[in-house]
């Protein structure tokens, strides 16, 4: 993890935010996610659906938790970079363990942008992806 910040307390705060997101997800508590997202946050899922606004993002998670209870998420940070003192880009690997729809991917990668507002870090945007396997080109 490449972490460049003049203040290690920012890294700790973002680590805590990520831990709180995992705890809320794993307990199926969408309301616990509200304070983790910026008001104008957005999310693009593996299906390409764009969800805009904190309430819509949290609502999407509430639906996921309602339809697929018991899922557990694991997140491993691969890279974190401070773009400015108040903006961070983080790449991570994720895995979902539990009940998933038939054929749904259980592993992938994500990019999250965190921003610091009024002294508090929050999620500005998140992009979840499932890498495609490339096949050798034949000539």
Nearest to 44 by CA among 59, 28, 58, 57: 57
- Whether 77 maps to a domain, the answer reads yes
Q: Would you say 85 and 116 are in contact if contact means Cβ atoms under 8 Å apart? A: yes
Domain with 113 in it? 8-129
Domain count, the chain: 1
- Whether 46 maps to a domain, the answer reads yes
CATH number for the domain that contains residue 118: 3.10.450.50
- Whether 17 maps to a domain, the answer reads yes
Q: Compute the distance between CA of residue 79 and CA of residue 89 in angstroms, rounded to an integer.
A: 8
Helices (H) and strands (E) in the chain, counts: 2, 6
pLDDT tens over the chain, length 139 residues: 444 545 699 999 999 999 999 999 999 999 999 999 999 999 999 999 999 999 999 999 999 999 989 889 999 999 999 999 999 999 999 999 887 788 787 899 999 999 999 999 999 999 999 988 777 655 5
- Give the 3-state secondary structure of residue 139: coil
């Amino acid at each position: 993890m490449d972490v460049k910040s003049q203040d290690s307390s920012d890294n700790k705060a973002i680590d805590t935010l990520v831990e709180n997101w995992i705890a809320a997800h794993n307990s199926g508590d969408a309301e616990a996610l509200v304070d983790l997202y910026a008001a104008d946050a957005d999310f693009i899922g593996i299906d390409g659906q764009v969800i805009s606004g904190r309430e819509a993002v949290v609502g999407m998670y509430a639906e996921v938790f309602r339809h697929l209870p018991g899922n557990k998420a694991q997140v491993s940070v691969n890279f974190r970079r401070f773009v400015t003192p108040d903006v961070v880009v983080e790449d991570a690997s994720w895995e979902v363990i539990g009940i998933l729809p038939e054929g749904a991917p259980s592993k992938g990668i994500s990019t999250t942008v965190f921003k610091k507002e009024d002294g508090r870090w929050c999620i500005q945007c998140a992009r979840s992806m499932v890498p495609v396997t490339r096949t050798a080109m034949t000539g």
